[in-house]
Amino acid sequence: MGARKTTLGSDAARVLARPFVDVDEAIADEYGPIPELFETQGEAVFREVEARFVREALGRPEPTVIAVGGGAVETAGLLHYERATIVHLPVDVETAWRRVRRSNRPLAQDETEFRRRFELRAPLYAEVADATARDLDDVVLAAAGVHVERGALQRLGELVPGDGAVALVSDPHVAGIHGMDAQLALGPRLAETHELPAGEEAKSLAAIDRLWQDLRLDRTGTIAALGGGCTTDAAGFAAATYLRGVAWTPVPTSLVAQVDAAIGGKTAIDLPQGKNLVGAFHWPGRTVVDTALLDTLPEPQRLEGMAEVVKAGLLADEAFWELADDELVRRSVAYKAAICLRDPHERGERAVLNLGHTFAHALEAAAGYEGLTHGRAVALGLLAALRLSGRDTQVVEEVLRPEPARVDRDRAWRAMARDKKARGGEPRFVLLGGNGPERGVVLPEADVRRELDRLIA
Q: What is the mean pLDDT of residues 423-428?
A: 80
List, in sequence order, every residue forming a beta bridge with 252; answer none if it has no partner.
Answer: 227
Query: Cα(222)–Cα(213) distance, rounded to whole angstroms?
Result: 16
Q: Pick 5-135's CATH classification: 2.40.10.10, 3.40.50.300, 3.40.50.150, 3.40.50.1100.
A: 3.40.50.300
> Which residues, in sequence order, are CB contacts of 204 under 8 Å at separation 6+?
197, 269, 270
**What is the secondary structure of 24-43 as a DSSP string?**
HHHHHHHH--HHHHHHHH-H
User: In the chain, count of helices (H) and strands (E)?
Assistant: 20, 14
What pTM was computed for the model?
0.92
pLDDT at 248 over 70: yes
pLDDT tens digits, one per residue of 119-129: 999 999 999 99
Query: What are the structural domain ranges in the chain?
Result: 5-135, 146-297, 299-457
Query: Cα(157)–Cα(58) distance, rounded to whole angstroms?
Result: 29
Query: Cα(365)–Cα(99) distance, rounded to whole angstroms?
Result: 57
Range scoring the smallest mean pLDDT among 130-144, 279-293, 363-377: 363-377
pLDDT tens digits, one per residue of 268-278: 999 887 778 89
* φ, ψ at 227 (rounded to 5°): 160, -165
Extended beta strands in 93-252, E state: 131-132, 146-148, 166-170, 190-195, 222-227, 247-252
Sign of CA dihedral 245, 251, 254, 255: positive
User: Which one, of 138, 20, 23, 19, lies nearest residue 71 by Cα?
Assistant: 23
pLDDT at 163 over 90: yes
pLDDT at 370 over 90: no
- Comparing 5-135 with 299-457, is the CATH topology the same? no
Sign of CA dihedral 398, 399, 401, 402: negative
Confidence of residue 82 (pLDDT cuts 50, 70, 90): confident
* φ, ψ at 105 (rounded to 5°): -65, 130
Architecture of domain 299-457: Up-down Bundle (1.20)
pLDDT at 453 over 80: yes
CATH 3.40.50.1970 fits 146-297, yes or no: yes
